[in-house]
Amino acid sequence: MATARAEGRGLTALASAVESALASGATPPALSLGDRRFEWGARTYVMGVVNVTPDSFSDGGRFASTEAAIAHGLALAEAGADLLDVGGESTRPGSLPVSVEDELARVVPVIEGLRARTAVPLSVDTTKAAVAREALRAGAHLINDVTGFGADAELPRVVSEAGAACCLMHIQGTPATMQQAPRYDDLVEDVLAFLEDAIARAEAAGIPRGRILLDPGIGFGKTFEHNLFLLRRLNELRVLGLPLLVGTSRKGFLGRLAGGKPASERLAATLGSVASMAALGGADVVRVHDVAEARDALAVADAIRRGEDGGALYAR
């Protein structure tokens, strides 16, 4: 009997391994957000960043007022953003949480203003169920949680009840502590394990697997070398069979690679990173501050990745 049970466990593990291997080569099913349909694998989509915070690392609070944030979001939509990600709480290294009341006051009016003037799907960058609930009521389609549903146990249920989508990100620690001394035994395996747990929390709350995106969390509890290693190995996260959303825009490791340039001067480095990811097939969505420029870079990188006309011999 014991031998039979052991063999059963072995077969279960083998079946799981085969299923994962097959998933890694499969294109995730399409996702509908509002009246937009995202066909994963067709091209790399662009998420535009709308920071409604006074202390953003990337724009120094330039769009902290409701009117400025709405105008900025509309400009990003006009520039070709496929989604807009609205955030009312900074998650830069060393940042501290803001109250629910403050975050709601920043985010909800912007969601309402954008929803009234653009059909581009709206994401809200929050870790709080109370904020997510009101943002979804105001017209948001996706909740982007940098803790992978690890901070607020009510958040998965809120997303599920609204029929919304979610993006679950990997982080080590919290924004206040994540860059103090990040370390891993096996970076890719640790990120995979974290994301598998996040997916389990989402599915347990009733969120369909097809409405989940994953984010490896570049810069969130990772050293300079961790970021580069993970970007090079993004395709290994395909084993989870879900679309990948990756944010490198204006981040510190790019500044270091560009000779110490500040966030405001990291456009070229950002474009290098998103083009590399697209050419390697490592991301389905890139989260960026500079939408028009990213769209141009991605058009080139996606075309190179899809190029198939190598002459008559290749057509056989």
Q: Are 129 and 94 in contact (CB under 8 A)?
A: no
The Cα–Cα gap between 117 and 131 comes to 22
Sign of CA dihedral 89, 192, 287, 140: negative
How many CB atoms within 10 Å of residue 34? 15
Q: 222, 251, 266, 295: which is the annotated catalytic residue?
A: 251
Type of residue at 190: D
Exposure class string for 138-165: b at 16+ Cβ within 10 A, else e: bbbbbbbbbbbbbbbeebbbbbbebebb
Q: Does the annotation count 287 as an active-site position?
A: yes
Which DSSP state fits 58? T
CA atoms within 13 A on the CB side of 54: 4
SS3 state at 165:
strand
The Cα–Cα gap between 45 and 141 comes to 16
How many CB atoms within 10 Å of residue 266? 25
Q: 43, 211, 250, 287: which is the annotated catalytic residue?
A: 287
The Cα–Cα gap between 222 and 228 comes to 10
Q: Are 76 and 84 in contact (CB under 8 A)?
A: yes
Catalytic residue IDs: 251, 287
